[in-house]
Amino acid sequence: MENSLGGARFAPETTYLNTASSGLLPARSAAVLRQAVDDAVTGRPTPGLGTESVERTREAFADLAGVPAGRVSAAASVSVHTGLIAASLPAGAEVLVADGDFSSLVAPFAARADLKLRSVPLESLADAVRPGTALVAVSSVQSADGRIADLAAVREAAADHGARTLVDATQSLGWLPFRADDFDYTVCGAFKWLLCPRGVSFLVVPEACDALPPLYASWPAAEDPRGSIYGPVRLARSASRYDQSHGLLPYLAAQHSIPVIRELGGPAAVGAHNTALAERFRVGLARLGREPVPAPGSAIVSVPGLGRAEDTLRAAGVQISARAGNLRVSFHLYNTAADVDRVLDVLSGLPDSP
């Protein structure tokens, strides 16, 4: 099966409903990767490999996040950038997180024994901000079950108590409209809803770009990267001072992947498509007597007790994931109503109990 969307082709050979784990690559992104691999085998130079593709990818992400590219750092993983934020906090600082949030967001703070990590239910996060809270860190959409955080309430509560905010937009940016300017820090892994290979991740920092310790400083973090490959470097005045040495092949493809979201009308348009499919799935689940985790407006649907169906679905050519015992199904721009009906058809044949 091949879908052509806004000039970007996708060619899933399964009913692929697992973007919350990893998004599909557009055919055009895969093509440049194949060519680059051939070049690496034969010794030919690859056009655009290096700084050029990193900068184009940074600009495409900044456009979706609604910030200047100079406020965006590019690296390989969310935990790298979260680690920089954790390292910037003074001993004894309180970090408030949501119960069960993704480890890449939580673990860097937990690894510092001199910080006070406090975890509360997602729905209570804003109410739990208190005097002395230094940072509130939360995923905009929960990986495990698709629940959407009340970011407006979190932002308001943090401002009232002088706390900073960190939002992980990995499970939302690309389908849920988001303004990184509303928060102090944003991190985002791009290999899910932004359709990139693994190894592409971003950090958005405030206008003052020097608040974090440049722990990974090397030549890509320099003001003049190409002239800074030996000895100490003069750090960039922009957020690229926090760049890691980039995985060049992932960024070579990513410059072609992220713009697909804008070509299809932006996150609002993509989100309308995704959430309509998710709602169709919820309605179908109700007919089967199944009740998902309440997550209105989410493109991720999690069904308690159905994690056991993962093997059955995969055997039927339906790609989903099991998380915390739940069946997690996620819908993105390459999915159709036929995909929804296919997974419901397989689920309808399951026994009522394990």
Q: What is the pLDDT of residues 257-270, one digit of tens each?
A: 999 999 999 999 99
The full set of domains in the chain, from first to last, is 3-26+264-348 (3.90.1150.10), 51-260 (3.40.640.10)
Name 157's Cβ contacts closer than 8 Å, sequence gap at least 6: 126, 127, 129, 136, 163
Least confident of 169-183, 206-220, 254-268: 206-220
State the pLDDT at residue 6. Answer: 64
- Residue 8, pLDDT > 80, answer no
Compute the CA torsion angle 25, 265, 141, 337 (nearest 10 deg): -70
* Greater pLDDT, 281 or 1: 281
State the pLDDT at residue 38. Answer: 97
State the pLDDT at residue 222. Answer: 94
Amino acid at site 19 = T
Least confident of 94-103, 186-195, 227-236: 227-236
Write the pLDDT tens digit of every residue in 137-164: 999 999 999 999 999 999 999 999 999 9
Closest CA to 196 of 3, 8, 5: 8
Average pLDDT (188-214) is: 95
- Residue 349, pLDDT > 50, answer yes
Name 252's Cβ contacts closer than 8 Å, sequence gap at least 6: 32, 33, 36, 46, 48, 49, 53
State the pLDDT at residue 112. Answer: 96
Least confident of 210-214, 234-238, 252-256: 210-214
Where does the pLDDT of residue 171 fall: very low under 50, low under 70, confident under 90, or very high at 90 and above?
A: very high
* Greater pLDDT, 227 or 138: 138
State the pLDDT at residue 226. Answer: 85
Where does the pLDDT of residue 7 fall: very low under 50, low under 70, confident under 90, or very high at 90 and above?
A: low
- Residue 354, pLDDT > 50, answer no
Q: What percent of the chain has pLDDT over 90?
A: 90
Rounded to whole angstroms, the Cα distance separating 233 from 243 reads 13
C-alpha angle 348/350/354, rounded to 5°? 150
Exposed/middle/buried for residue 131 (C-beta within 10 Å: 0-12, 13-18, 19+): exposed
State the pLDDT at residue 336. Answer: 96
